[in-house]
Amino acid sequence: MPAGEFTLIAELRDALGQGRSGDGTLIGIGDDAAVLDCGGRSLVACTDTLVAGRHFFADVNAADLAWKALAVNLSDLAAMGAEPRWTLLNLALPAGLATAAWRADFVRGWQALASASAVRLVGGDTVASDGPLTVTVTALGLLSGPALQRDAAQPGDDIYVTGTLGDAALALERAFAARRGEENPPLAGADWLEQRRLRPTPRLAFARAAQRLRALCAQDVSDGFLADLGHILRASRVGARIDAECLPLSPPVAEWVAEDGERLSRTALTGGDDYELILCAPPSLAGELQDAARRTATPLCRVGRILPPAAGVRLFWQGEERPLPTQWGHEHAL
Amino acid sequence: MPAGEFTLIAELRDALGQGRSGDGTLIGIGDDAAVLDCGGRSLVACTDTLVAGRHFFADVNAADLAWKALAVNLSDLAAMGAEPRWTLLNLALPAGLATAAWRADFVRGWQALASASAVRLVGGDTVASDGPLTVTVTALGLLSGPALQRDAAQPGDDIYVTGTLGDAALALERAFAARRGEENPPLAGADWLEQRRLRPTPRLAFARAAQRLRALCAQDVSDGFLADLGHILRASRVGARIDAECLPLSPPVAEWVAEDGERLSRTALTGGDDYELILCAPPSLAGELQDAARRTATPLCRVGRILPPAAGVRLFWQGEERPLPTQWGHEHAL
């Protein structure tokens, strides 16, 4: 993304994200979602925009697109520990796109995840556009008790990751190769990887369980593990040690990385679109968190430890320190 | 908007807008905004997308654009009687657009209305796009007591309109003519009209006062007076009598209409983008509503009466019935 747009976000936050005290904003811009006081349970609100050709292939199946547009927002709610409730959907549609088949697919893909997550569509806007298909979803959830926040990691906390990392990144690499006409090497589980890319599963149940256990710090992995861990470290003003051999890899990614260890960096460390959670919690919660993970059928791995700020980020492989990748991630790319 | 897109909205509403009872959705899709139960005050949520070249001229000043993108959403909150609190902003930006000057203008225009309305930006998403600038704003507000709804008009209710109608439509007609290289006839107040088009003022204070008075039915005028009145009549299953000579016109529109009475239809009856309110309330509230209008410095005119359903819509000019325009309005066009 050009520098002007990053600058714009910072300018908007600085100029428009400030309010009077007592306006009910518990958490404003700068976390996965805002937390707002409505007098009852706290409201959690987030929004994401996906643009054809940038965040998804323009020829994507509408069912997969609908699922993903909803999933990336539910993942932000999960990262706050919220219970998802309502959504709004804005579509800017190129002429001729919304055929009966496309519409049926879109509804089907949305419904599949919305039913499973018990969220209801309560509003939106559909407009015609001369540009690429642009999908904006806003998700609203409720929260009892404190949110999982980026800025709550403490030295000594364990760092956990749900699920497996790098699946979407490897699937995307193969999808790009196929589109360039290259033949991908055979890989067991390639179809499963592609599903991981197309239909990420927000970790809602585990996140809510962790929030109820008073774990305080989480962030979802959308820009890459190191990039999103970096958000936690900056916000919490702490350092971290990562034991790279503990990073959870699916069998296809593990097989692919085994051929060339450098590939770990492109997938698990910096690949985007995982929509897993990074959770930081004190060792005293370890047993209860693993119980919650089992109860919610969520793979959960301890991958490192939060350190004092002076430590920065230190990457280890079987006890030996390794250099960090120069680039830590990317903005939700296609 | 092509039929496919209207069909999509209906399909989304029918397929995805249904929830389980007890999910906290007090008002879902189908009014100006959703009303949601968070356990304290009700949350009111709405969203609108504006696309360059469709809803605004691509060379619009960024300050005017920011104002309008926020205003059209605040107008939807007003139409529910809600107190605006928070906003989210999604921008899909063409490369090179967000220069320092553009960013400063955008922030200035947004801030001008956000400060006046006491709303805070709490989230959003900024993405690069190869298409036209696309601005989505989501507005969140709070409500104590029942919302102003579209479906609450009763036979015998007075029909009121705030402000004046048709200003934006006449300004837009002149802006299109100027862009075609035509010379517009001189018109006193043309600059004021243009400001009405560029910077609509949501009727927040009056709407909240009306809501506190237990007026029950309102709708904002974005698609044209007859079109938006039509939304009320369909939702409430009632008819209406409109006394066209009572429709509030600003001096420039009145002067322009005086030359050719047919122009009333193009402006006050069907012109879009007024962002005024239509309010329906029993005659017993007339005095208190006029007091509220004075207190909030809001022009308020009684323009007709709600009739039983069988009456349909009847248009009168000084007591004489006139035919209705064949087209009642349009979708928020440029």
Tell me if A10 is assigned to some domain: no
Is the domain of A163 the same as that of A293? Answer: yes
The pLDDT tens digits for A5-48 are 567 777 888 888 887 777 899 999 988 999 999 988 999 999 99
Q: Please indicate, yes or no, if residue A11 is contained in any of the structural domains.
A: no
Distance CA A246, CA A208 (A): 24
Token pair of A299 as six digits: 């793979």
Residue A19 zone, left/alpha/beta (φ > 0; ψ -120 to 50; rest): beta
Partners of residue A142 on adjacent β-strands: A43, A83
- Average pLDDT value for residue range B16-36: 87
Rounded to whole angstroms, the Cα distance separating B211 from A224 reads 48
How close A1 comes to chain B (CA, Å)?
6
Integer Cα distance of A292 and A117 in angstroms:
18
B70 occurs within a structural domain: yes
- Tens digits of per-residue pLDDT, B202-256? 999 999 999 999 999 999 999 999 999 999 999 999 999 999 999 999 999 999 9
In terms of domains, do B166 and B118 share one?
no
Contact A46, A139 (CB under 8 A): yes
pLDDT in tens, B306-320: 999 988 999 999 999
The stretch A152-170 carries a mean pLDDT of 98
- Tell me, yes or no, if A58 comes closer than 8 A to chain B by beta carbon: no
- Cβ distance of B128 and A5 shorter than 8 Å: yes
Supply B95's token pair.
């490369």
Residue contact A88–B19, C-beta within 8 A: no
Q: Which of B9, B53, B89 is closest, CB to CB, to A12? A: B89
- Angle of helix A190-198 relative to helix A62-80, nearest 10 degrees, comes to 70
Residue numbers of A between 77 and 116 with CB closer than 8 Å to B: 85-86, 88-93, 95-100, 103-104, 106-107, 110-111, 114
B334, pLDDT greater than 60: no
Task: Express each pLDDT in A192-243 by its tens digit.
Answer: 999 999 999 999 999 999 999 999 999 999 999 999 999 999 999 999 999 9
- Give B74 to chain A, closest Cα distance, Å: 15
pLDDT by residue (tens digit) across B259-273?
Answer: 998 999 989 999 989
In a domain, A328, yes or no: no
Range 134-173 of B in CB contact (< 8 A) with A: 134, 136, 138, 140, 142
Quote the pLDDT of residue B5: 59
Which residue, of A100, A117, A143, is where some domain finishes? A143
Please determine, for residue B136, whether its predicted confidence score (pLDDT) is greater than 90.
yes
Q: Where in the sequence is the domain holding B268, given as residue range(s)?
A: 150-322
CATH number of the CATH domain containing A33: 3.30.1330.10
What ipTM was estimated for this complex? 0.94
Per-residue pLDDT reduced to its tens digit, B165-212: 999 999 999 999 999 999 999 999 999 999 999 999 999 999 999 999
Residues whose CB is less than 8 angstroms from the CB of residue A11 and which lie 6 or more positions away in sequence, other chains included:
B103, B104, B107
Per-residue pLDDT reduced to its tens digit, B141-157: 999 999 999 999 999 99
Specify the DSSP element, H or E, that contains A35.
strand A34-37
A275 and A184 inside one domain = yes
Q: State whether B90 and B118 are in the same domain.
A: yes
Query: Which of A1-10, B64-73, B100-109 comes out lowest in average pLDDT?
Result: A1-10
What span, in angstroms and rounded, lies between the C-alpha atoms of A230 and B3? 47
Question: With an 8 Å Cβ cutoff, are B134 and A92 in contact?
Answer: yes
Strands A34-37 and A25-27: antiparallel
* Residue matched to tokens 């047993």: A287
Same domain, B154 and B136: no
What is the Cα–Cα distance from B128 to B67, expressed in whole angstroms?
Answer: 21
CATH of residue B227's domain is 3.90.650.10
A166 and A245 together in one domain = yes
Both tokens of residue B202?
């949501």
Tell which phi-psi region holds residue A81, choosing left (phi > 0), alpha (psi between -120 and 50) or beta. left
Residue ranges of alpha helices (H) inside A267-323 are 286-295
Task: For residues A118 and A179, state if they share a domain.
Answer: no
For position B9, what pLDDT does the model report? 75
Partner-chain residue, chosen from A25, A90, A118, that has the shortest CB–CB distance to B86: A25
pLDDT of residue B1: 46
Residues A173 and A223 in one domain: yes
Split at pLDDT 50, 70, 90, the class of A307 is very high
Task: State yes or no: pLDDT of A334 exceeds 50.
Answer: no
- Residues A180, A293, single domain; the answer is yes
Rounded Cα distance, A5 and B95, in Å: 9
Whether residue B298 sits in one domain with residue B201 = yes
> Which pLDDT score is estimated for B15?
84
